Structure formats: structure tokens, C-alpha cells
């Protein structure tokens, strides 16, 4: 399978995902990052943006962006569509298994375009 090419320069830390209007409230999209990494980008009901790793640690499939967004006791969450484990969108931590966590990615909006930081755990500039 050919390696997909990205519409960003590899020098940039930030990857443009899509226009902010393209994001449906309480749904996610997958974002392709350099080196074939991928993030799951979500817009909550309160219009907060979160990005976490797209690969479900329990199944190894790249499906986190397709999970259901909600909350557990106020904590914004996404549930894996594969076997339904729930993860915090803020911390990436699995709320059903404290030993498991997703990477988190910083998100920002520039000129109406949502950008995801291509390096996990960094707050960006």
C-alpha cells in the first residue's frame, strides 16, 4: 500500500485538519499526521475541540474518531466503537482501565481552519 502524502510541509508542527464548520458537534474525524500517525479530532457540544490518538489500544484498529462522544460525571469522553471502553477526551486516559491511555494532541483554530499538533503531548506554540 502506498504511503499517503500530506498536504502539509513536514517542517510544520501543525497539521491542518479541516474547516471548523466541517466538524459536527459530538462527532469525530480522523486526521492523518506525518509518519503515518493519526489522530481523532472531536468537537463537543460546547464547541470545545480535542484530539487524541486514533488507534484504539484494545483492538489496534484506527477507529477512535468513530466513537460516541458524551460525558461521564461531567468529564468529556469518547467510547471506542470496537469494544466500548470509554476514554477521557481531556487526558486520553481510559476510564474503564487506568493502565491504558490514548495520546493527546493540542488543537488550535487558525482562520477558521482546525489544526492538530503533530507531536503528541505538546501544547504547541
Partner 1 sequence: MRQLVVIGNGMVGHRLVEAVLSRDTAEPWHVTVLGEEPRPAYDRVALSSYFDGAGEFDLRLPDLARHGNVELLLGEAATALDRAARTVETSTGRTLAYDALVLATGSAPFVPPVPGRDLPGCHVYRTIEDLEAITATARAAAARDDTAGVVVGGGLLGLEAANALRLLGLQPHVVEMAPWLMPRQVDEGGGAVLGRLVAETGVTCHTAAGLAGIEPDPRGGLRVLLGEEGPGQERIDAGVVVFSVGVRPRDELARAAGLEIGPRGGVAVDSACRTSDPRIYAVGECASTQGTVYGLVAPGNAMAEVAAENLAGGAAEFTGADTSTKLKLLGVDVASFGDAQGETEGALEVVLNDAPGGRYAKLVVSDDASTLLGGVLVGDASAYAGLRPLVGRALPGDPLGLIAPERGGAAAGAGVAALPDDAQVCSCNAVTKGTVTDAIAQGSTDIPALKACTRAGTSCGSCVPLLKNLLADSGIEQSKALCEHFAHSRAELVEIVTATGVATFSELIARHGTGRGCDICKPAVASILASLGGGHILEGEQAALQDTNDHFLANLQRNGTYSVVPRIPGGEITPDKLIVIGEVAREFGLYTKITGAQRIDLLGARVEQLPAVWARLVEAGFESGHAYGKALRTVKSCVGSTWCRYGVQDSVGMAIRLELRYRGLRSPHKLKSAVSGCARECAEARGKDFGVIATEHGWNLYVGGNGGFTPRHAELLAADLDDETLIRYIDRFLMFYIRTADRLQRTAAWIEQLEGGLDHLRAVVVEDSLGIAAELEEAMARHVSGYADEWRGVLEDPEKLARFVSFANAPEAPDPTISFEIERDQPVPAGPVALGMPARRGASEPAAAGTA
Residues that bind partner 1 (CB under 8 A): 1, 3-8, 15-18, 22, 24-27, 29-32, 36, 38, 41, 44-45, 55, 57-63, 66-74, 76-77, 79, 81-86, 94, 96-97
How many C-beta atoms surround the C-beta of residue 8 within 10 A? Answer: 16
CA distance 80 to 61: 10
CB of 43 to partner 1, least distance (A): 10
Question: What's the min distance (Å) between Cβ of 8 and partner 1?
Answer: 8
Nearer to partner 1, 97 or 122 (CB): 97
Q: Which is nearer to partner 1, 74 or 112 (CB)?
A: 74
Q: What angle do CA 41, 47, 52 make, to 5 degrees?
A: 20
How many CB atoms within 10 Å of residue 2? 4
Residue 101: Cβ-neighbour burial (10 angstroms; 0-12, 13-18, 19+): middle
Of 104 and 118, the one with the shorter C-beta distance to partner 1 is 118
- CB nearer partner 1, residue 71 or residue 122: 71
Amino acid at each position: 500500500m502506498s504511503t499517503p502524502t500530506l498536504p502539509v510541509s513536514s517542517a510544520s508542527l501543525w497539521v491542518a485538519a479541516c474547516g471548523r464548520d466541517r466538524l459536527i458537534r459530538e462527532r469525530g474525524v480522523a486526521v492523518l499526521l506525518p509518519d503515518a500517525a493519526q489522530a481523532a479530532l472531536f468537537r463537543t457540544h460546547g464547541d470545545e475541540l480535542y484530539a487524541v490518538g486514533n488507534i484504539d489500544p484494545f483492538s489496534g484498529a484506527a477507529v477512535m474518531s468513530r466513537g460516541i462522544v458524551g460525558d461521564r460525571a461531567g468529564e468529556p469522553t469518547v467510547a471506542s466503537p470496537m469494544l466500548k471502553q470509554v476514554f477521557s477526551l481531556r487526558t486520553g486516559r481510559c476510564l474503564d482501565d487506568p493502565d491504558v491511555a490514548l495520546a493527546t494532541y493540542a488543537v488550535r483554530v487558525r482562520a477558521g481552519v482546525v489544526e492538530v499538533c503533530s507531536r503528541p503531548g505538546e501544547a504547541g506554540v
